[in-house]
Every structure is written in structure tokens, then in C-alpha cells.
Amino acid sequence: MSTPSPSPSKPSAGLSLTAQRRRAALWFLAPMLAALFFVAAWPLLRTIYFSFTDTTLTNLYGGEWIGFDNYLSYRKLSSGRVIWRGTLADPAWWNAFWNTLRFAFVSVGLETVLGLGVALVLHQNFTGRGWVRAAILIPWAIPTIVSARMWGWMLNDQFGIINDLLLKLGLIDAKIAWTANVDTAMTAVLIVDVWKTTPFMALLCLAGLQMVPKDIYAAARVDGIHPIRVFLRVTLPLIRPALMVAVIFRMLDALRVFDLIYVLTPNSKATKTMSVIARENLIDFDKFAYGSAQSTLLFALIAVFVSAYIWLGKVDLSGDQSQ
């Protein structure tokens, strides 16, 4: 009598199915990965390479390797004095560095607080809530260039509506050149950015609020817990993941801000950021390799901030690593 062949075991069939799913996923992801490589990874690698050469805009393929000279180098004079050169020794770069950090932290902080407040209001039930939700997204839907131009006219010192309103209210005595004055240029940029991007933060916070179970709030009302304690102890911890996503997205945009400042305050030293100064050296001053070094440093700064933020997000208030 012949013995029937054993049927394949379930574990082996499971492994085969898993392998098939992985292979299918790779085929689906391959076009996107290829597009990301040619659109993002390859230009980034080329920029990093150019930062170690003396390439110019008029001679992109004839640059020679000079090492870290575009980042930091020195020359010793006959008198014994040492002259430091490179991006890390450039006062203009450090001015742009601190301007970028100031803009990023202030704008993201204000947008997070205001966006969370708007989200809490939109989360309530009231007549016309759908219309209000749609209207609140209009500033975010307007292109940044259009917003910058619009606010540039509104903040104009001669015929801008902002100065006219402040004069009629008696808050100022004379017209202010908001975008041209060194003392008010950063404030003007922050006002425009907060006005435009707060709806984005509110949208993400609102999505997090809608995921919170309503039974928790009902139980809190039954127990007579104060609404502020409910917000701090219940709402805020539960929407923390959505809030972290919103903050990290906005921080990435704020650190590499370019279009708003380039249009609203193009020649102001008080608002010049790392993206703006890198573009000046890349295009305007024909210091292609020098601008590439500044762009590489900007990328490194963003990578450090993202890594630190992700690490901090995994740490509980007690200091233990969350699983």
C-alpha cells in the first residue's frame, strides 16, 4: 500500500504567504522609491558633494575637491595672526542661523497654542459649525506667495490698512514701515506665518480630539472634575500623538522657510534665514559650493531636530522609555 504524501504544514504556508505579500509590497513601492531617489535623494547627495568642492554656477562639472574649506578653514599670516574662513566662521551665516531658530520656535509655539484653542472651539456642537470649519481653512488654502503679497500691501507704511486702523484706534502715533524696519520686520513675518498656518495646526488637533472617546468626558462630568483638570489630565495626554505630528510637520516647514521671507522682506538682515542666505550664495553671488555647504548644514540641523524630537516623544514624563 502506498503512503499518501503529507500535506504542507500551516507554518510553511504562512511563511509563503508573507513572502508573497512582501514581494507585492515591494513592487508597489518601487515606483515611489525610484521617484524619491531621483527627486530628493540624488539632489541631496549632489549638494553634499558640491559642498566639498570649489564648484561655481558657471562651471558645475569642473570643480575640484577642497575638503572642508567651505565649512571651516584658516590661513595663518606672516604676523602670526590666524584668519578663519568658511560658513562656520561667517557672521552672516550665524545671523541667519539665529533668525531661523527664532522664527521656528516662536511661530510653531504660537501656532500650536492658537491651533489647539481653535480646535477645542470647533470640536463643540453649535449651529453653523461646518461653515466655520470650512472658513477657518481659507488662510491655509491660500498660496504662500499670494499671502505674502497681500500682507505686504496691508503692512505698507504709506497706504497699508494696518497702519490706518492702528492710527484710528490711537495705538500708534505715526505710520510704521513694518517690513522695512529692522525692529518690526521679524514681527511682521511672524504675524503672516501665524495667520496662515494656525488653521493647519487646528485641523490636526481637531482630528486628534475627535478620536477621544466621549465616554471619558461623561464620566468626568459625573465625578464633578473641573474642565481645566479634564483638559490637562485627559484631553492633552490623549491627543499627544496628533499634537506631536502637527508640531514636527510645522517645525520642518519653519526651519526651511524661504518663500514667505523672500517675498515679504527680501533684503532685511533681521529676517534672513538659512534657506534665504543659501539661495543668495547659490544663485546671486555665484558661490555654488559655498551655498551647497550652507544647504548641507541646514539639512543636518533639521535632521538633528527631528531625531531629538522623535527621541523626546518616546520618553515619558517619568523618564522611562515608552514601548
| Annotated domain spans of the chain | 91-313
The whole-angstrom separation of Cα 103 and Cα 109 is 10
Query: Beta strand 73-76 with 82-85: parallel, antiparallel or unpaired?
Result: antiparallel
Is the Cβ–Cβ distance between 164 and 172 less than 8 Å?
no
Task: Give the distance between the most distant pair of CA atoms in the chain.
Answer: 109
DSSP assignment of 171-187: S-SS---TTTSTTTHHH
E strands, the chain, in order = 73-76, 82-85
Note down pLDDT in tens along the chain; length 323 residues. 555 555 554 444 455 788 888 888 899 999 999 999 999 899 999 999 999 999 988 888 878 999 999 999 888 877 778 888 899 999 999 999 999 999 999 999 999 999 999 999 998 888 888 898 888 889 999 999 999 999 999 999 888 899 999 999 988 888 999 998 899 999 999 999 999 999 999 999 999 998 888 888 888 888 788 888 888 888 898 898 889 889 998 999 999 999 999 999 988 899 999 999 999 999 989 899 999 999 999 999 999 988 888 887 765 433 444 44
The whole-angstrom separation of Cα 191 and Cα 271 is 13
Question: What pLDDT shows up at residue 225?
Answer: 82
Q: Per the structure block, which three cell numbers stand in for 42?
A: 540624488
Question: What pLDDT shows up at residue 152?
Answer: 92
> Which sign, positive or negative, has the C-alpha torsion 256, 259, 262, 265?
negative
The one-letter amino acid code at 308 reads A
Query: Which of 71, 76, 77 has the alpha carbon at shortest distance from 54?
Result: 71
Bridge partner residues of 84 (DSSP): 74
Question: What pLDDT shows up at residue 6?
Answer: 52
The whole-angstrom separation of Cα 101 and Cα 193 is 14
Is the Cβ–Cβ distance between 118 and 110 less than 8 Å?
no
Is the Cβ–Cβ distance between 264 and 189 less than 8 Å?
yes
The whole-angstrom separation of Cα 300 and Cα 95 is 17
Fold of 91-313: MetI-like fold (1.10.3720)
* Backbone angles phi and psi of 142, in degrees to 5: -70, 130
Question: What pLDDT shows up at residue 61?
Answer: 83
The residue behind cell 520686520 is: 185
* Backbone angles phi and psi of 250, in degrees to 5: -70, -35
DSSP assignment of 80-100: S-EEEESGGG-HHHHHHHHHH
Distance (Å) of CA 193 to CA 117, 199, 253, 279, 319: 17, 11, 11, 21, 34
